[in-house]
A and B are shown apart, each in its own frame.
Chain A
Amino acid sequence: MIRPVAGMQILAGPWWARSRSGERYEPVGYLFILPYLIAFVLFMVIPTVAGFYISLTSWGGLSQGRFVGLDNYLYALRSDQFWQAVRNTLYFTVALVPALTVLGLAVAVFVHQRFVGFALARVFFYSPYVMAVTVTGLLWMWVLDNNAGVANYYLGELIPYFKTNKIQWLASEHLAMPSIVITTIWWLVGYQMVILLAGLQDIPAELFEAAKIDGASSGQSFWHITLPLLRPSLSFVIITNVIGSLRVFGQMFLMTQGGPAGATTSVVLYIYMTGFQSFRFGYSAAISFLLLVGILIFTLIQLRLLRARSVY
């Protein structure tokens, strides 16, 4: 086995055998990456390029259409339906992410304690996350059912007014989105819990002991020790949730089909409807690319914001 030694640079060889600084190359590396690279080119690179091309055509279900330049993009930016989908998606994101993060943190702090039944509590909070969106959706459609759902029944028992005025959870334009947000919180809180719990467990216990000796209350140590040291985990959870929310599809598709009156049509659901229900592939591909750009911008902004205020 020849290992690179200083002074070996002079040795000549073909481009694949030796780097310019004289390190030995091992072409066997290509064999290692080849299987993945084939999948990567076929199902990532080519679709990306093809998708961009399709977005510049009037490709429909039956015909390949013709080249229309940026018409699809301009049409989307002038379309009320597109902007409604964008507004709905942002509404969903803004309503979901803070609630999910705060609740996830509370639950993580709770199950971080050593108490009777904490292992069981972890399992309970986490279980919904293992479910498919179809299970979650069907289940909450039943819980939130207008007439026979338990949510309305117990609300009516609690506040008699709601006994006769049943809340139209998923059928009302104003409450459909909050209902979906509630469903999603139930579904995903376990994920936040696990990530934040791992972050909590990484904080050295000595810090809390030292703070206690200095007379800090548990609230103070939470604000001045836990939160700052949890920052990487919190940033991760927030970024993941924002990206996930911008891509939301299943809950809406299942529970409301984007209704009532388009009040819960998310961007991805709009992509699905224009692409696979109206078969306007060109237009749908254009919206896909707008979504991609939107997600990129959001992520870059967040990385900036969350990195900017570093603690140490």
Chain B
Amino acid sequence: MFDLSHNPSPTTSSSDPRHFIIVGVLIVITTVVLKILLDWALPLPLQASVQAITIDWLFGLHIWLISFLFALVTVFMCYALVVFRRREGDDGDGEHFEGNTALEIGWTTAPLIFVVIFSYLGLTTLWDVTATQDNELVVVAEGFQWGWNFYYDDIPNPEMVAIEGVLVLPVDQPVLVRLRSKDVLHAFWVPEFRVKQDVVPSIPYSTMEEASHDGEYPEEKMTEIRFTPNLVGDYKLRCAELCGLTHWNMVKDVRVVEQAEYDEWYESNFGEAATALADQ
């Protein structure tokens, strides 16, 4: 396997442990340097939801993995390009070895272990960010070409629509947004909240139209997205699924405010309709 008898090269054998020690040290250094560079080059937006904490944590772990694997391959590669380059006038061949079964098994099993670990973490984080909470505030967000309506009810009740088209939410309150479309696919995404969900039309809009006039709401499949905003501030909701001409500008304001300010806004926006709803 590492037969050098036919290859009288003055350079050291490729299996010399010194190569691996140098490479090992370089990999450690490169990993750390890359992690720092990647954290700088890939800055996530402000963290404004509870889900963002979990997601950013897993994101950071991925960056470590990327830094390590990138360092592993490129250090070995660049080292080889320098140390094992052909010297001027040397027309000979390289060392003749065809493989190494132990290495093959090793570099198949080790990645498999990583896959198992990240699968587990992927599962737990997925459950974390999609888990149903108690006391969710339910809002229906309706996407259409090219804007959004927000209904503060669990059905698209036109009497509970946010008048200025701003999605106002109280801080630290779990929110369930049910999503429906009047026409094509859209997607609900506020980068600071991290989570994203497509908006899928599920029943003919003509049925929706007729029904809402009668005050009745047909069964419709709405996709759902859950998040708990935890930072007061102004954000933007941007449609994240190409939906035609003005997809680029299908943007609405989202305001996360203190509970008191939310209650005030709710009162002034919905007034009687809200009382009627509460009485039902």
A and B physically associate: no
Q: CB within 8 Å of B: which residues of A?
A: none
Residues of B participating in the A interface, judged by any CB pair closer than 8 Å? none
